[in-house]
Structure 1
């Protein structure tokens, strides 16, 4: 038939007691790592503001958004600049390739050997998205098609 609730209730009660005990131990361990407790276990009075920077979820999201905006602005400015020409000679064939630092292509339109298309596809999509006509600085990762 069905399970008996009696043993489950008893097990839940015991787990609550065990959780309370482990939480207290974990709090002591955390205080020791932060330096709020000395070796004997006596509390050292410190302001929590001296030990930790407290941020709300909104502040963390805002910081992440501004960091991403700065990256996009940097990539957009980088895309406006003309690339430098870098000369590289192939050891096996002896052919001299002139690579553009902006597009990473040589005079024949080929990418270098270390360039992996799958790895850099997401970065290139972001770059192309930032160059669109109606580009806004309040951009989030949600709007980019993957």
Structure 2
């Protein structure tokens, strides 16, 4: 057998009353944590700017964009730097490998045993992304008609 609508309506009414009571308590608790209420429970008049930093969506987007540009510039500068050669002898074969500190490749073009393929691919993708962002084609920057 199903429940009657009469009991459901009564339950909904009681839940509304309970929700109002809990909402009021929660609001007081939030105001206390923000420091908008003193020990006696009286409200302290404060500006919103004193409680929290207010930023518009444009400011947030600008900050994110500038941070991304700084990362790309850093990656591009890093890609222009040359690595230092580091010599290492393989204990099993006795062959000397000269690794580049930047690319981590040896003179044969191989990565060290501890360097994983996924990590290598991720590193290369980042490097290529930085190069694409800073790429300027000569004919578009030099010979642009007005």
Same fold (TM over 0.5): yes
Paired residue secondary structure (1:132): helix
Aligned equivalents of 1:118, 1:4: Cα separation in 2: 61
Which position in structure 1 is the counterpart of 2:53? 53
How many residues align? The count is 136
Unpaired segments of 5 or more residues in structure 1? 137-146
Partner of 2:105: 105
1:111 shift after superposition? 2.5
Gap runs ≥5 in structure 2: 137-146
Instruction: Please give the alpha-carbon distance, in whole angstroms, between the structure 1 residues aligned to 2:46 and 2:123.
Output: 45
- State the distance in 1 between where 2:83 and 2:75 align: 13
Residue number in structure 1 paired with 2:78: 78
Q: Give how far 1:108 is off.
A: 3.5
Following superposition of structure 1 onto structure 2, how do residues 1-146 of structure 1 map, counting pairs within 5 Å?
A: 17-87=17-87, 97-119=97-119, 121-132=121-132, 135=135
Inter-partner Cα distance in structure 1 for 2:63 and 2:98: 40
Secondary structure of 1:64's aligned partner: helix
Q: TM-score, normalised by structure 1?
A: 0.63
Q: Could you say what the CA RMSD is over the residues aligned between the two structures, in angstroms?
A: 3.7
Query: What secondary structure, in the 3-state scheme, does the structure 1 residue paired with 2:132 have?
Result: coil
Structure number, greater radius of gyration:
2
CA distance in 1, matches of 2:46, 2:133: 53
TM-superposed CA distance for 1:53, in Å, is 0.9
